[in-house]
Structure formats: structure tokens, C-alpha cells
Amino acid sequence: MTSFRGLLAYLVTPLTPDDVPHLDALGHLVHDAVHEGVDGLVVLASSGAGVTFDAAERGAVVHAAVTAAAATTGAAARRVPVHVAVGGTSTREVVARARAARDGGADGLVLAPFSYLPLVEDEVVAIFDAVADAVDLPVCYYNRSVQTSYDVTPTTLAHLARTTTVTAVKDPASLPSRPGGRVAALRSAVDGLGVSVGLSGDPSLVTDAEAADAWHTGLAGLVPREYVALRRARVDGDVPDPDTAAWLRDLTGVLAGLRPVSGFHALANLLGTPTAPPRGPSLPVDDDGRRRLAEVVARRPA
């Protein structure tokens, strides 16, 4: 069973010029992330554009990631777990994806509950109930409150931890309308339940995010060396290397001005991972955005 703790790298899904998953390139991303010491991998989440792939493509991505992770020994000399995002627009689709992920060798599931219309609490709980009934894998609740118009409460998270297979939450590190102390509130609600409280949002993670059990980040899948070093320094109470910290701040600053998945694909190319732009409706990064990314990449610390 995976704990969803530490640094979790959310990988992009590289594409060939023919617009199909580039499995060799994905394997290299897995190898590099594991080799540099990340604690877990996630495929087919938002940075991996999972909702744009059909069942066969998703199965191929999961198989490639699981195989590459099993074949790579990281800095900790242990097998790094592979988690699969299984969000979908219907409970039936979510359950089918959860079962396929289990059959493909996934160690855990990441689930952002969403639908065409905003969900209410009872509907959200019912989705996690259905997954727990169908698949015996630990689940990380992916709280995409801005996109889904539903923000999980500490009370609901505790209920899910007691009644379903939810063992973790991925929560936004910073929201304009949310007061401080969110991590403490979530931890208090799930005290004694073994739930990992993790944060996402690169601009906050590389600057002033609250201490948390996990960092969930797409950028760590592309620059794992720098992110692992930053995370370890923060956990150990050390001062991060100033050059690395400054470079990550500059990189997240540029990415914040680009479309999220498109920016990651452009960055992947600049870092040597071949990929076409993400599938539409996402549009490729324009020339100015690529130039600004290239300027930061050229200053990457040795």
C-alpha cells in the first residue's frame, strides 16, 4: 500500500507527431524521476492530460510507466510507486478507469471528482464509495476546488478516510479566498486515520507553502533533480541551495503565465524530451512563451 508521502511527480504524457502517446519518451521521464529520488509517480492526471486519452491509450501509458519504474533503481534503492489518475465525467467511467489502473499494476489512484455540472457533497461521497466497492487500492482525493466548484471540507475528508479507501488529499497550496492554517485544519480532522495531507501549486511550493506530508507537482516530473533537492532541504530544516531555489522560482514564474499543460510540453522539449503539443483544445505555447522558457532553461544550475 502506498502512502502518498514525500515528493510526487505528476508526469506529462509525451505525444508523437502522429498524436499518440510517446511511450519511449514517457519511459525516460520515469527513469529520470526515479533515479533522482522522487517518492512517487502519477500518470494521466491534469498535467498528463488523462481525460484526452481513450481506454487503450490509457492502458498503454500505465503499462509503460509501471514497467519503467520497476526497471529503475532510484536514489533510495527501492521501487517507486506509480499512481494513476482516474477522474471521469460519470461514476461508471471512474470505476472502469480505476479497475483498469488496478489491472495495469497501479499502486494507488488519484481522483478528482467532477461532472458536467458542479457536484454537491453527497454526490462526491458517492463517487468515492463506488470506487472503494470496486477496487481495493488507496486513493488520493485530488481537490480541484477552483475547477470543480466543490471544495472538500475537513469533516468530509475525515468521513471519506473512515468509510472508503481515501488515504490522502492533494490540496491547493494557495487560494485567494482561503485563510491560512488549511494544512493544520485537515490534519486535525484526520488525526489518527493515517491520511497524508499534501499540497500542490508550484509557485507556492517553491516559495512559502505550509509544511505538508507531500508535495504533488507536475514540474517535478520534468526537473526532478532540483525539486528533490528543494524538498529534502525543506523537510530537513536546511536552507535550500540559493541558485536552485532562485531558478525554480524563475521557472514557475514563466510557467504561471502559460497554459498549464501546454507550458509543460514546451518545457519538456527544451529539456530534451520529445513531445508534440498537447491535444486540443489546448493550444501550443506561442513563440514568445517558448523564448521566455528557453531563457530560464539556459540558466539551469549545473
Place of cell 504561471: 256
Q: How many CB atoms lie within 10 A of CB 29?
A: 27
Least Cα distance to 293 among 274, 93, 264, 130 occurs for 264
Q: What is the CA radius of gyration of the chain?
A: 18
Residues annotated as catalytic are 142, 170
Q: Which own/partner contact pairs does 86-92 have at CB distance under 8 Å and 24+ positions apart?
A: 86/44, 86/110, 86/111, 86/131, 87/50, 87/51, 87/111, 87/112, 87/113, 87/114, 87/142, 88/51, 89/114, 89/115, 89/116, 90/115, 91/126, 91/127, 91/130
